[in-house]
Amino acid sequence: MATVKNQSGLYVQFTVCLIGLFLLPLPSHSSDPDPLQDFCIGDTKSAFSVNGFPCKPAINVSSDDFFFDGLSKEGNTSNPFGSIVTPGNVLAFPGLNTLGISMNRVDVAPGGLNPPHSHPRAAETGVLINGKILVGIITTGNVLYSKILNPGQMFVIPKGLIHFEMNVGEEKALIFTAFNSHLPGAVVVPLNLFASKPSVPDGVLTKAFQVEKTVIDEIKSKFAA
């Protein structure tokens, strides 16, 4: 590096350093915040509401709080989508509380689809255990990235991006997914737009999709509870 010869040279070097600092990636939390104690088994029934759940008193904690068998059973895929997500999030498994991680089990019947959805609070990774699936990810720039996966293969879904998994094989598909949040949340696009309560006004949907109200009515009728 050039040695500083005078005041103005020093000033220029200082300015360049300052600009360089602003160009560095800012430190950020890319997942849930770190825990402040060994564990905090969620007391999901507590009357207190905090960012996460209050901890169950340590005296009440047992081995069972650290284990969960909710993902061991095959989900029932007899529904219009032909798929079912079994959550292993903090609500199902309070031992995950504050740890910034969780998993789901996804069962997809042949021809079934885990419909386009996004997780507002987490990036996702997954591994296909059985079957053959088409995984698609759509970016904020409307570019589709996709691939057909075979057992043992993994995928990653960047935080918040819309994605889907379709069973394109002859057999049932089984996927285990993992998240960097104890409660990633899921915005399922068709349900979010066409099955909300109260419902999104028809005028919003006819304009957004550039179709007649009869088309919107038909789609809404498919998801009417």
**In the bound complex, what is the minimum distance in angstroms from residue 60's beta carbon to ligand NAG?**
4
Could you say whether residue 76 binds ligand NAG (CB under 6 A)? yes
Nearer residue to ligand NAG within complex by CB, 43 or 68: 43
Long-range contacts of 92-96 (CB under 8 A, 24+ apart): 92/68, 93/68, 94/41, 94/42, 94/43, 94/44, 94/53, 94/56, 94/65, 95/39, 95/41, 95/42, 95/65, 95/66, 95/67, 95/68, 96/42, 96/182
Which two three-digit tokens encode residue 88?
A: 């292993």
Among 43, 110, 153, 161, binds ligand NAG (CB under 6 A): 43
Could you say whether residue 65 binds ligand NAG (CB under 6 A)? no
Candidates 55-63, 81-89, 100-108, 167-175: pick the segment binding ligand NAG (CB under 6 A).
Answer: 55-63
Q: What are phi and psi of 94, to 5 degrees?
A: -60, -15
Could you say whether residue 198 binds ligand NAG (CB under 6 A)? no
Among 4, 14, 16, 60, binds ligand NAG (CB under 6 A): 60
Binding residues for oxalate are 104, 114, 119, 124
Residues making up the annotated binding site for Mn(2+) are: 117, 119, 124, 163
